[in-house]
Amino acid sequence: MDTRQVAERATQAFNAHDVEAIRELTADDCTHWSAGGTVVRGRDACVAANAMWFEACSDARITVTRLAVEGNVAYEEGIFEGTHDGVLKTPMGDVPATGRRLRGEYVTATEIRDGKAVAQRLYFDRMQVAEQLGLLPAATGA
């Protein structure tokens, strides 16, 4: 598979909540960096970093709005949506289910080698997530 095909297959695997397919698309030496500075290394940890989202939101889904490929890196813009009906594991601790809807934009940059992700950087608005979960008061106008 080329870089675009791997990125497209990863989106399909995420939306199907297919942990085994995600594992197959992840290199043993993968590194995953997420907004807030969380870094995990190794296949199991990188797979868990992705699966954490659909464990927290049983209906988690991403919609890719733009996919660009340069060499062996796929750049993806998209929208994440889901209902927070499970435990969300965060660096600050676990957040029990709130029943609230999450919807937010994200950007990823994923480096592919031999048909597998070797590095992924995930950017999203953590404050937006916290507000939507009711962990922070919503911003008010000035």
Q: Is there a contact between 117 and 73 (Cβ–Cβ < 8 Å)?
A: no
Count the alpha carbons within 13 Å of 113 in the hemisphere toward its beta carbon.
8
- What residues does each domain of the chain span? 3-132
Q: Which fold has domain 3-132?
A: Nuclear Transport Factor 2; Chain: A, (3.10.450)
Average the pLDDT over each of 32-41, 68-77, 107-116 and give the range with the smallest value.
Answer: 32-41
* Angle at CA of residue 38, ends 122 and 18, nearest 5°: 55
pLDDT in tens, 30-44: 999 999 889 999 999
Mean of all residue pLDDT scores within the chain: 94
Sequence-distant (≥ 6) Cβ neighbours of residue 127 within 8 angstroms: 136
* Angle at CA of residue 136, ends 131 and 139, nearest 5°: 65
Identity at 102, one-letter amino acid code: L
pTM for this structure? 0.91
